[in-house]
Amino acid sequence: MDKIVHLGLFGCTVLLLCIGYYRSKGHISILTLTLFWLVASFYGLAIEFIQKYWAVERSFDMMDALADSIGAICGIIAFLFVRKWWLKK
């Protein structure tokens, strides 16, 4: 269940980020989508390191970081579907 939560949180975050960017600029490039995925993935990894070294009673879990990264990809895929059907001008 924990991995599903990670996947959903990062998926929704990236989806909303993509929608906001698209609505403000009117377009979005593959490079921008890749940048959003990379930033979300590195953020998830950074959170795991913060948990390992600074948080009490928390530990590093690479599977959480992987779920974050997969969630970010799912958010991008969801955005591509949303853009196709809902956000067309």
Question: Is residue 83 very low, low, confident or very high in pLDDT (cuts 50, 70, 90)?
Answer: confident
The torsion angle over the Cα atoms of residues 71, 72, 74 and 78, rounded to 10 degrees, is: 130
- Predicted model pTM: 0.88
pLDDT in tens, 29-74: 999 999 999 999 999 999 999 998 998 888 888 999 999 999 999 9
For 86, phi and psi rounded to 5 degrees? -110, -35
Look at the chain and report how many structural domains it folds into. Answer: 1
Q: What is the pLDDT of residue 79?
A: 96
Domain around 74 = 2-85
Q: What is the pLDDT of residue 30?
A: 96
Q: What is the pLDDT of residue 89?
A: 55
